[in-house]
Structure 1
Amino acid sequence: MTNRKKQKGADTAVQGTNDSSVLSKVSAAAQGYFHDSFLQHFVCKVARRAPLINRGYYVRWRAVDHCVQTFLQVTQHCAKRQILSLGAGFDSLYFRLCADATALERAVVFEVDFPDVTRRKAALIRSNKTLAGMLDPQYEHSPTGPVCVSSSQYFLLGVDVRHASLVEDALTMVGLDQATPTLILSEVVLTYMETQQSDDIIAWAARLLPRSLFVMYEQIHPQDPFGRIMQEHFLKLNSTLHALRQYPDTDAQRQRFLDRGWEQCVCVDMNDFFVRLIPDDERLRVERLEPFDEYEEWHQKCSHYFVLTASRGSLTAQSLLVQPPVSIKSPSWSPIDLPVKTLTVGVEGLGSASTCLDKGHILLTGGSCRSGRGAPSRLLLRGSEGWTSVTVQPSAHLGVRLYHTVTSTPGGVAVIYGGRSSPLSPIRGLVKVTHNGGSLHEEQMVCTGDHPPPRWRHTATLLSHKGKKLLFVFGGKNECEAVLGGGYFLDIDQQHWMEVSLLPVEGAAPDDRHSHSACAYQGGVLVFGGLGRRGQPMGDTVVLKPNERGFCWERIDVQPPPCPRYSHSAHVIGKHLIVVGGVWLRSDDVPGVAIINLDTRCGLEFRLNTSSVPWPLMLHSFCSELTDQKKAELLLIGGGGNCFSFGTHFNPQLVTVDLQPALR
């Protein structure tokens, strides 16, 4: 195949991303994430996307709209202002602004894209009474040449953006004024070009428009697990992401613009934008629009996209994004990486739960598998030749159950509690599981007392107090509450529930949360991290300690403070709390293992050496078990995620981590 044919194929693939993008935007608008009644005119039919994709396109739309509105506000007293959209596709910006009585006052919109795309868009506009009615009565439409649509405030140009001189000639032909304050938009456009070409366009725009604001929305962080899956997705679409290899983070992207003639530049990832630049009431509105339980994928998606504003001239500098304050300090990293290796045992699942029944026997329940259905219960058995996985037939089908807990109790019995089959369908009650040979026997537990509300993403920890075996249930969420707190004790022998507030419990209870960890510790429970009420990860360490009267909550002040995270797992080895994996809002690295010395109250982060793992290792929605306390061997089971629109990833095999280097 010649280079010309290859390039044509790649160009066709890139143009196809426009069709996918506009469908997703229409879906988000239809669900009320933002108001845009014009997008629907650019698609044949409306297809409802998953809530995760709707949220992703909402934050993209919101970021660009924020920049557009700020620019229009700053330039409202100017005699003229311009908007230049590079690679505009089927964007509806002109029509949305035109519907606003004042937004387009003294403003002109120029859109540039591949000729094939603009001709399709021009035909859709011409055939639609609503869209055509928002142009001049005698607007011009040309099936040939670069100018596809010509109206007094709207020009649609069919020119390959990579050819800056041709773009400049076409813009000059339709009246672009180089001295007028201009907003330049580029939504996931430049990254599809060779990096030198996109660099040249950035420099060209700075030279051409000395009073301008450049707004760009693109991807970053190509080399972490999510970034690798993201790149593989676009490679499969024949739409390689180029620029993020040379400019892999927000600092590099910012410097890229400063080196090419732009005077000031602010670049933030979408987690920062969503948390700090969207008002609380608007975030709350969005979070209530649809049932949602894909927090890990949401935060990872947002950490892999950014919005950038770069300015030329003092006027447009006022339109720059507000740089969010740095509130998350860099972790204190150890120079030692912990070795990771894979085992030739195929086990996968998202949202499963595990527990050690006895030495060498691990029970794995629930979760979702590649088929999208409930994963079968499994026993992981350790023999002289290593681990094996055996599917066990339950006496009664447990159904689809995700983000539940399974906790071992003395006598080889495990208790399954909570979980969900969907974000609207919590699972109530408890199940007692007994392992007998190659089968499991399940029995519904009938409990008395004040039952806790149904929940998932909670913890359930076994402790003993005054001779009683107690299951302590803390946190979680359900279809009604974004986070739960309080806590409940289940007397296992009496099968009786007691709310924490009914017992003598001293000290301030920790904040409500879900997706945290809880470990048995010195007769009590050690709680770490989680996702809090404002949808932000937490990094606190709190212990529920037994005393003569009952229990007491006590906070452990760790220095330096651990980086906040959730969807992790945790274990206690002697005086050390071992925190494994999870998700945090830092976008420059992924969590490995945090070691907290509970005596000295000092913490240290350890990266994982995953060079021997042939696939991206995603450590969230997974399970872990300490299989040998003396050797400090940790077994990681399942995990992965539904990576935005890039596909679902499963960790396909068991993985072990050697913790000994961190505990010496």
Structure 2
Amino acid sequence: MLLPSPSTSSGDAPVRSTDNDAAAARVSAVKQGYLLDPFAKHLVPRAHLLPLRPPLINIGTYVRTAAIDSLVDQWLELAEKASQTCQIISLGAGSDTRFWRIASGKLSDGLGTYVEVDFPEITTKKAMAIKKSKDLLTTLGDPSHVSLDQGGTALRSTRYHLLPLDLRVDPEDVLKSVLATPQPNGLNLVDPSKPTLLIFECVLAYMAPELSSRLLEWFVKWSQTSPCGILGCIVYEMFGLNDAFGRVMVNNLKERSITLPGAEAYSTIESLPGRFLNTGFTAARALTLKEIRKSYIPRSELDRIAGLEFLDETEELDLVLDHYAISWGLFFVNNEIAVKWGHWGLVDRDDSDINM
């Protein structure tokens, strides 16, 4: 998730452990046929020995993944239509496999640079897993351009970069030096003139609101340095934890020494777009996973996953999905960009023939 300062490393161990939960859930969803991801097993030790998760978790993992995949794919498609390559920055990436799925898919040509940041403990394990896996390493391109860095906590290649960063430190001190300062080749790691997509999956809930706001504001200001700057952001997180079910979730996490300071400010789905609008984004929207499953997943996919496992907890599933949301924000410098990119977002299946 987030790279801690040295003095708090041990205290952040419970938060780091949530990546293990997410990775195990993804492996389970792949094994059961909900998701197609040949790369997930390479980033999870002894993945073949992990027990399957309950249908409720498998379905939640599927809905989360399908929705984010749709937003990312649309971003890549819009960049391709504009004859541009885009860059993606995944903050708190954990054991995510998105780069490999994009790089080996039909939208690979639309991707320029892909950057992942996380705890150094997590980036170290991921870097070593990449180096040990032929499938992961091959997808990075020329092996001579793949190297470990920063004592093995970082990995760099032609277009994929895995970096340890502390997102809670002032972005001017951390992000600017890594992302917006010339590298040894004379070029910045990322370029504000290219369409840039940020991804936060279960990250901001663990940060104080003022810290996550400062982070988003920095990226908006960075995009403004280009006359054609365009910035998108996807956030997946829990919210609305002030009701009975939410309090149970919070108490369960507290038993694992995990707190959610970033979730307290967002008690309703209507409050989530404010995270973007209050930090300079032009437009924003949010949907619960329950809404996405009901109206944004193609019926053919709903029929397919319904046949994978028997689910006798429909009400509980809806309750869980109603406490998780995907929100997305868009910032653009001028109205000409708005014409091309303004419709980016999830589309109700009844309003479009475009499948997710």
Settle same-fold status: TM greater than 0.5: yes
Q: Deviations over 1:366-387 (max 9, x none)?
A: xxxxxxxxxxxxxxxxxxxxxx
Can you give the 5+ residue segments of structure 1 that lack an aligned partner in the other structure?
Answer: 326-664
CA distance in 1, matches of 2:252, 2:149: 34
Q: Deviations over 1:488-538 (max 9, x none)?
A: xxxxxxxxxxxxxxxxxxxxxxxxxxxxxxxxxxxxxxxxxxxxxxxxxxx
Compute the displacement of 1:177 (Å): 0.4
Compute the displacement of 1:156 (Å): 0.8
Question: 2:177: which partner in 1?
Answer: 169
* The structure with more helix, counted as a fraction of residues: 2
Is the 1:27–1:49 Cα contact (8 Å) retained in structure 2?
yes
Question: 2:108: which partner in 1?
Answer: 103
Residue 58 of structure 1 pairs with residue 62 of structure 2: yes
Question: 1:384: which partner in 2?
Answer: none
Is the 2:124–2:154 Cα contact (8 Å) retained in structure 1?
yes
Q: Deviations over 1:619-644 (max 9, x none)?
A: xxxxxxxxxxxxxxxxxxxxxxxxxx
Q: What TM-score, normalized to structure 2?
A: 0.85
Compute the displacement of 1:229 (Å): 0.9
Relative to structure 1, the CA distance from residue 146 to residue 84 in structure 2 (aligned partners, 3 Å threshold; closer, same or farther) is farther
| Secondary structure in structure 1 of the residue aligned to 2:139 | coil
Residue 18 of structure 1 pairs with residue 19 of structure 2: yes
| Secondary structure in structure 1 of the residue aligned to 2:312 | coil
Is the 2:297–2:349 Cα contact (8 Å) retained in structure 1?
no
* The structure with more strand, counted as a fraction of residues: 1
Structure 2 counterpart of 1:157, one-letter code = L
Pairing partner for 2:262 from 220, 243, 253: 243
Compute the displacement of 1:146 (Å): 9.1
Pairing partner for 1:260 from 258, 276, 279: 279
List aligned pairs for 1:74-473, cutoff 5 A.
74-77=78-81, 78-135=83-140, 136-144=142-150, 148-163=154-169, 164-165=171-172, 166-172=174-180, 173=183, 175-209=189-223, 210-313=229-332, 314=338, 315-322=340-347
Is the 1:266–1:321 Cα contact (8 Å) retained in structure 2?
no
Relative to structure 1, the CA distance from residue 146 to residue 129 in structure 2 (aligned partners, 3 Å threshold; closer, same or farther) is closer
Is the 1:190–1:243 Cα contact (8 Å) retained in structure 2?
yes
Relative to structure 1, the CA distance from residue 300 to residue 324 in structure 2 (aligned partners, 3 Å threshold; closer, same or farther) is farther
Structure 2 counterpart of 1:168, one-letter code = K
Structure 1 counterpart of 2:179, one-letter code = L
List aligned pairs for 1:509-520, cutoff 5 A.
none
Compute the displacement of 1:253 (Å): 1.2
CA distance in 2, matches of 1:151, 1:10: 32
- Identical counterparts, % of pairs: 30
Larger gyration radius, structure 1 or structure 2:
1
Structure 2 counterpart of 1:80, one-letter code = T
Is the 1:119–1:143 Cα contact (8 Å) retained in structure 2?
no
Relative to structure 1, the CA distance from residue 5 to residue 103 in structure 2 (aligned partners, 3 Å threshold; closer, same or farther) is closer
Is the 2:121–2:153 Cα contact (8 Å) retained in structure 1?
no
Compute the displacement of 1:92 (Å): 0.4
Is the 1:147–1:170 Cα contact (8 Å) retained in structure 2?
no
List aligned pairs for 1:547-626, cutoff 5 A.
none
Is the 2:284–2:330 Cα contact (8 Å) retained in structure 1?
yes
Residue 42 of structure 1 pairs with residue 43 of structure 2: yes
Compute the displacement of 1:235 (Å): 1.5
Structure 1 segments, 4+ long, off by >3 Å, are 3-7, 322-325
Structure 1 counterpart of 2:219, one-letter code = A
**Number of positions where the alignment pairs a residue of Structure 1 with one of Structure 2:** 323
**Higher relative contact order structure (alpha carbons within 8 Å, sequence separation ≥ 6):** 2
| Secondary structure in structure 2 of the residue aligned to 1:246 | coil
